[in-house]
Structure 1
Amino acid sequence: MASLSNGIESWVLMALIHKDIDDFDYKNALTLSERLFAIDKDSQDFRFLYAKCQYLLGDYNAAYDVLKDTTSIPCRNLFARSCLELGNLSDKTDKSIFYWRSGIQTLQEALADSSKKKTSHKWGDDLTCVALRSHMPSQSSIRNLLGELYIKMDNMRASSQQLLECLAENPFKFTAYTDACDIAPDAGHPDSVLSPNAIFKEFDIETTQLDHSFKYHLPPMPSTSTSKSTTSTPIITQHDKKPRLEYLMPMIRSSYGDVSLNQLRALVRSSIQTHPAIIDDGHLFDLFRDAIEKSKDEILDLMTADIEKQKAEEAFKNKHGLHKKPPAEIMHGMTMDQKDDNDDKMDTESEVVDPMSNSPPRLDSANKRPSLGKTTTGTTTTELTSKAAKEATDQTIIGAMNKIIRISLIIAKGYYYQAHYYCRETALELQKLDNSQYDTPSVLCLMGRAYYDAGDHAGARIFYRRSFSIAPWYCKGVPLYSTCLWYLEKERELSLLAKVMKDNHSHRYEAYIAAGNWTKCSNRGNEAARWFQKAVDLDPSRSYGHALLGYEDWEKGNCLGAKQHFAQCMITNKRSYFGWYGSATAYQGMHEFPQARRLIEEAIRLHPRHPVLLGTMAEILLSMKEYELANKYVERSLAIRDNISIQELKKKIDRRLELGDTGESL
């Protein structure tokens, strides 16, 4: 079992987290702080740093939940700030007052504790803070951010290159690895490039530089010299290659002065010189895009044109009375009526693993692991020379870094397997973590996602449920968790989830998805679509809300509306198999089988082991009378997971093969 102790490893992790915070890489800082928090959940220092990362990311509900019942002054201070922000976000006056009063009470307690040991203010503590921070962002942080921006530009090859170079320099940038895995299908490089063993390698004292830089990047000291202002405006000549800003844009004062022709010419020349990308016809950002990405662009362009054509046809029919408009649906109110507290209890039916137990769910109940012993630093520094003492210290630090790397390697392998949709391999790899690291929300949600992508909603529910029970502030898995509960018709558990999420103002998107799935499970008319639409309106950059809206229209037989939502899902995230699969089903419902086949092929390329995708391909091929190929897909689907509907499809294909391609009806 891989484990971390509360010692030098904690110190190394805290240093890495603070460096990420200095570089504004809050997402990676949060990932590392969860590993730190897992070491000792009772540590006020670890809890504070974990909550601080949540706060910096704007997740005030998480910071509030993590810091409840803490007693240290830094924790109380941050808790009060979270109360302030939650009170501002609350849409109910009494709730706002509750948060603000909680903040006031906790700060009064903090002041009472600090006044017991009050001394005169030590200004040296404040004035030395600048020298103790790192003001120069590392190249790994810059490359990590550059990779994220390239993803936004839909340039996966360039993004992957930057993310891999980031990891080569700093393997602790775990979010760079997860992003690289997510875009791997479109990055155009072999899987071996992302092998966790090649990236998360242990450090060697001979090749690892633990020395400080000779030169620190600090803000400049203020100059005591006074600069004299001038009232005359210098003339800019053609030889001035880099005109100063004040010459390019005169300041607006009470009386606006005339702008000379030379100044206008210099402004134009400077604009052209400093912004070459504007006149580059877009080739700068399109230089490395692969054929896969361009092929997807073509499919989406064709799909968009088809949708516009069909919309025009529908409008023509409505205008000339060729068909009647559907009657307006009666909408229920948008309030989330909840059951009584007695009805909100979790289901008590027996399960293979109890997610509410004290131990995290595992494949094997045996959680025994050999003791790794305490970290030793060898002999004391007083018995060694200064050089030997430094080597001993360096060796201790390297050992701590390697322990962290071993933990990262296990989680990275789990993420790598999940990104390639190997559920069993993901689960087995994550079993190597000790209980403290395994029983964390990110690991449990990773397990849940693996089971969800395998089509096992019951298995996914167990892990998502455990994650939410131990960390209700971690809401990344809530959309899929609520969808699993809808599939399994767990209305009471889904009602409780929606009720808890209703008060989480930092995760409105996830709350709307949970509310939509709950109203859908309780058969409340068209209210589910209203909640999903609110989620999309709140954050249109996330693809899952668009996919859910597409499924809503598809279930109602509105194939055109479904195509529009699924197309938006694909545009938002071209690597989401939800959008490609949903679009294929919409075209299939309109008997446009060649287009449906092309879309489902891309969905299967992204997720080649999903039984539903393979079964849908078999259905489309059956409609296109390609019976032998359809039989191969249906057999692959049944080999992964047995299903009654797929078995019936298999019988239809077998009968067609027996009859031959005669076109006779079944």
Structure 2
Amino acid sequence: MAPSVIHVAGQLRQLVYYHLDNNLLKNALFLASRLVAYEPRSAEAAYLLAYCQYQSGFVKAAWDTSRPAGVRGSHLGCSYIFAQASLELGRYVDGLTALEKSKHLWQNRNTWAQHNETRRQHLPDAAAVSCLKGKLWKAHKNIDQAVECWAAALKLNPFMWDAFTGLCDAGAKVSVPNVYKMSAEMIAMTHLSQQQTAKIEIPSTVAADKATTSATGQQSHTSNHASVAPADPFVSTHKPHGHSQIGNSVLWEKLNGSKMSINTMDTVLDEEGLNAPSTEAEVETGILQGGVVNQHHEPPPAPMRKAKGAAEVAADPPPRWKTGSTRLKAKAKVASDDTAVLQDPPASTAPFKRTVSGQPAPTSHATSGTAEGTRRSNRLLNTTRPPSASSTAGSKISSLANTLGLREGRDIKKARAPAVRARTATASTVGRVVSGNRTRTGSADAMDVDAKESRAAANAPPVPSLPNSKVRAESAVNRELEGIQTLLDLFGRIASAQLCLSNYDCQTAIQIFNSLPSAQRETPYILSQIGKAYHEQAQYAEAEKFFIRVRQLAPTRLEDMEVYSTVLWHLKSEIELAYLAHELVSVDRLSPQAWCAIGNSFSLQREHEQALKCFKRSTQLDSQFAYGYTLQGHEYIANEEFEKALEAYRAAIAADGRHYNAWYGLGKVYEKMGKWAIAEQHYRTAAKINPTNAVLICCIGLVLERLKHPEKALQMYTRACTLAPSSALSRFKKARCLMSLGRPREALAELLILRDVVPDEANVWFLMGRLYKTLREKGNAVRAFTMALNLDPKAAQFIKDAMESLDDEDEDPYDEDEDMD
């Protein structure tokens, strides 16, 4: 008889997941196509085929395959793959529509802590879908909706780094303490994960126990008494008693009755995930509000397990098999050794002979194998009625002798059993033999010890392993929660630094990054962020050190290498920049970062046309690469092609609205075109995005000077000097503005500071000479003019004219025509 289609399809599904897990995408794709042939109308089969196609890079094929079920919202996997493919194909509205129609499938789905080496959840949960929706909304140029989706994703899963960086890039005000803290949902899911793990591990333990006991003919007994799984604290198996449970809350009530998808090697089919209340309003709010949050969070108590206490366990009698039970009637035809396990041995009425060691003499009808199986069962399982005191003392020694492999009838010494541990021993330790002090063979003391041990074994009820299992489970949960809390603290610190960097608070970001543990700090990602922070502060030499370290740790890393190439451009390092471009091309010649580095190398050599070709190539490879458009605009400005520069900067802003470099470029173009008011607007927009950039503040001050607002310009220059005390440009502009306002003493004070910062700058000495001339300090003026002449011989004519006019009292000391370029 031929197998049914259902069984064949089930085998194909397992094979598809097997090849996907082993990264054999070509095989998985072939098998998924066979599955679709068997089940052409199955949405599950279409999802597997689309998933394999998407993972293999066939985005359009995955879009077509998942479209029928994806647009209807009938299958979550198809909708998710369809939305991912739509994001790459630019069909953003289609992807958003598919996810919205399947909202009833993912809205309450939470698979937190349900992924490990033996379990997998192949369908996304609400956090993953929300993150994808945020990317789609951002690509659709709806930043507000994207921010809402990313915030929802972080409420459900704070470790979704894409969502957090998306919020940072969007300029949202994020409250990091509200994101990275322990929540009630995380605690509940951790407890549930441990329960599911215990349910998986216990059957494997029972199977091993069955294999061991089957060798001695005790398989049926073990299977009935050893496979006790721990109860699920979230699914109540007891009837309510009219009183509230300890630790009960709305969360536990909502979790009751939910089922978990545990995909092991046998079950990898589509199952519903846990319907946790992860998207309800009671989930932690305030991620975007920036409210104050208590940093010390005590996890709520776990729901109490309705297990019997120690007193109740001691009060219950041990389980016993009755002679006339149904179990024994069904086993009437079993061999005599099996019957001996289930029934009590007959009590001996006649006196019997003992050996010298005190054990009963062997009989002809008793075999060593039967005695061993019987006594080990009594000790290990605690399932038979304890034998009488007269038979236990001798049978225990006989069982021990057979266990050790001694010949029947051979005398061995009796070990003194610890009386204190007789009642506290569990099922796993009852059969353990402990060596101790030994008494004389055959003495009355030895017989007394045997009698005491027999009475203790008879009176001590069997203690189940449930309390120990509960303790171990609670300990495992506590360790898991401690690990989660450690990760939350680490992610919180990294997120705080990342948020500061996105807000261009670079100094604070550097301090937080440096405070990370060395193992985390010395990673390519963190080092790259520190390098970018120094780059934003125009400390290019420091930035180069960190990027060099990144190249040493990850020679094939492409992310942020366009920033490194710009750092080398500012440092005028032609050889290092050319080598970097060569290395990046060898890694991936189709990466925009590689072509950006090549363009910077040509730009440093003043080959602007070649540089423009490279920058255009980078934007062809990635249409959303805003930095490539910005560098195109810089090259167009160098060629004085202002209209093309405007187009390039606008394209960069279209790709990334918070790319302040493009706003700065627009302001620079309008400034060169003499449109001061429009230039000021664009400079202010750039400064609103990056309020800590001293260059942008100086540009605003310069435009205000052109607009005849020197007092406002002086405020901008003062602010720029506060932001960057070592900035030579800001202080020089401030000194000139003070000089134009007729405040030579203040201007001279600024120049004296600037002289120590840049002692080899001729313009500084020339302006100092003019100020000394105004203050009638001719000696100092001559000295300053002489220094300027030595530093810049090309400007000798300007400097000599200024020195010859020292005696001319009618000259306007604030005439800027004598200033050097």
TM interval, shorter chain, is: 0.5 to 0.7
Cα distance change on mapping 1:541 and 1:206 into 2, 3 Å? closer
2:176 to 185, 189, 196: 196
1:159 to 143, 146, 149: 146
Contact 1:196–1:412 (Cα < 8 Å) also in 2: yes
Q: CA deviation at 1:204?
A: 6.7
Q: 2:124: which partner in 1?
A: 137
- AA of the residue aligned to 1:174: W
Alignment of 1:503-522 (within 5 A): 503-505=586-588, 508-522=591-605
Cα distance change on mapping 1:400 and 1:541 into 2, 3 Å? same
Q: 2:509: which partner in 1?
A: 426
CA distance in 2, matches of 1:421, 1:171: 23
Contact 1:614–1:634 (Cα < 8 Å) also in 2: yes
- AA of the residue aligned to 1:402: Q
Q: 2:480: which partner in 1?
A: 397
Alignment of 1:417-566 (within 5 A): 417-505=500-588, 508-524=591-607, 526-566=609-649
Alignment of 1:119-138 (within 5 A): 132-138=119-125
- Mind listing any 5+ residue stretches in structure 2 that lack a counterpart? 1-16, 22-53, 58-115, 194-257, 271-428, 430-463, 744-813
Q: CA deviation at 1:665?
A: 6.6
Contact 2:120–2:262 (Cα < 8 Å) also in 1: no
CA distance in 2, matches of 1:394, 1:162: 31
Q: 2:75: which partner in 1?
A: none
- AA of the residue aligned to 1:144: C
Q: 2:165: which partner in 1?
A: 178
CA distance in 1, matches of 2:508, 2:269: 56
- AA of the residue aligned to 2:705: L
Q: 1:216: which partner in 2?
A: 261
Q: CA deviation at 1:201?
A: 1.0
1:601 to 681, 684, 694: 684
- AA of the residue aligned to 2:576: E
Cα distance change on mapping 1:434 and 1:645 into 2, 3 Å? closer
CA distance in 1, matches of 2:183, 2:471: 19
CA distance in 2, matches of 1:472, 1:220: 39
Q: CA deviation at 1:600?
A: 0.8
1:622 aligns with 2:609: no
CA distance in 2, matches of 1:414, 1:57: 36
Alignment of 1:10-409 (within 5 A): 132-184=119-171, 187=172, 191=173, 194-202=174-182, 207-210=187-190, 211-212=192-193, 214-216=259-261, 384-409=467-492
Give deviations 1:475-498, integer Å, cap 9, x for gaps.
111001000001001112112211
CA distance in 2, matches of 1:167, 1:134: 19
- AA of the residue aligned to 1:435: S
CA distance in 2, matches of 1:397, 1:207: 9
Cα distance change on mapping 1:217 and 1:206 into 2, 3 Å? closer
Give deviations 1:38-60, integer Å, cap 9, x for gaps.
xxxxxxxxxxxxxxxxx9798xx
SS at match of 1:171: coil
Q: Provide TM-score, normalisation by structure 2.
A: 0.43
Q: 1:649: which partner in 2?
A: 733
Give deviations 1:231-269, integer Å, cap 9, x for gaps.
xxxxxxxxxxxxxxxxxxxxxxxxxxxxxxxxxxxxxxx
Q: CA deviation at 1:385?
A: 2.5
Q: CA deviation at 1:406?
A: 1.8
1:588 aligns with 2:671: yes
Give deviations 1:170-227, integer Å, cap 9, x for gaps.
111112111101102xx5xxx3xx12222111457994322156143989979xxxxx
Q: Provide TM-score, normalisation by structure 1.
A: 0.53
Give deviations 1:506-528, integer Å, cap 9, x for gaps.
75211101111112223445311
CA distance in 2, matches of 1:200, 1:507: 37
Q: CA deviation at 1:131?
A: 9.1
Contact 1:135–1:217 (Cα < 8 Å) also in 2: no
Q: 2:77: which partner in 1?
A: none
CA distance in 2, matches of 1:391, 1:473: 44
Greater relative contact order structure (CA < 8 Å, 6+ sep): 1
Equivalent pairs, count: 379
Q: 1:639: which partner in 2?
A: 722
Cα distance change on mapping 1:165 and 1:651 into 2, 3 Å? same
- AA of the residue aligned to 2:728: I
CA distance in 2, matches of 1:526, 1:583: 21
- AA of the residue aligned to 1:181: C
Cα distance change on mapping 1:492 and 1:162 into 2, 3 Å? same
Cα distance change on mapping 1:624 and 1:500 into 2, 3 Å? same
- AA of the residue aligned to 2:175: S
CA distance in 2, matches of 1:438, 1:498: 26
CA distance in 1, matches of 2:260, 2:178: 32
Give the root-mean-square deviation of aligned CA atoms. 3.2
Contact 2:618–2:625 (Cα < 8 Å) also in 1: no
Contact 1:136–1:217 (Cα < 8 Å) also in 2: no
- AA of the residue aligned to 2:739: R
Contact 1:464–1:477 (Cα < 8 Å) also in 2: no
SS at match of 1:646: helix
Cα distance change on mapping 1:220 and 1:485 into 2, 3 Å? closer
CA distance in 1, matches of 2:465, 2:723: 64
> Identical aligned pairs, as a percentage?
23
CA distance in 2, matches of 1:648, 1:206: 56
CA distance in 2, matches of 1:620, 1:175: 39
